[in-house]
Amino acid sequence: MIELPLVKEICMNCRWWLAQSRDDNYQTDGCPKLNVGSCKRYPPKQTHTGKCYSPVTYHDNFCGEFKEREPVETKPLPKPKRIPFEEIQILVRDWISTHAHGNLHAITCVACAAACGVSTRSVIKTTAWKAFIERRDAEYRSTW
């Protein structure tokens, strides 16, 4: 585990720094061996192979171009709309009556849930879905 320095004006806190996450930078327990990253403040440099890379710095490097990161504003996700179960019953029934023709084994609970905008758990609790499964299984058994 790396020790974090007490100084604040270092690359890891700089808005120009982008941490790298190559596998060989990590120990077997997942802790970083070296915390390295690319500095996007300075132009890329060409190596002897002809490829260009941004300058790589360690997390505790610094320079006079340090600029603090702006805080990232996060908004809470909107709560999903709660649909009453009676409405789910109707949505699922309508969806099944539209789609349950031909190959009944192609009808999936996931597709129904996605089309109705509800969870699969809600779909399988509906009367229409239970009836559809019974019908599908009965048709399947009749082909034996």
**Half-sphere exposure for 140 (CA within 13 Å, toward CB):** 10
By CB under 6 A, residue 125 contacts ligand SF4: no
* CA-to-CA dists, residue 113 to 83, 86, 93, 96, 128, angstroms: 12, 15, 12, 11, 13
Give the SS3 label for residue 58.
strand
58 binds ligand SF4 (CB under 6 A): no
CB of 51 vs ligand SF4, minimal distance in Å: 20
Of residues 8-47, which lie at the interface with ligand SF4 (CB under 6 A)? 11, 14, 16-17, 39, 41
Q: How far is the CB of 39 from ligand SF4 (least distance, A)?
A: 3
Judged by CB under 6 A, does residue 65 bind ligand SF4?
yes
Contact 61, 37 (CB under 8 A): no
Pick between residue 67 and residue 135 the one whose CB is nearest to ligand SF4: 67
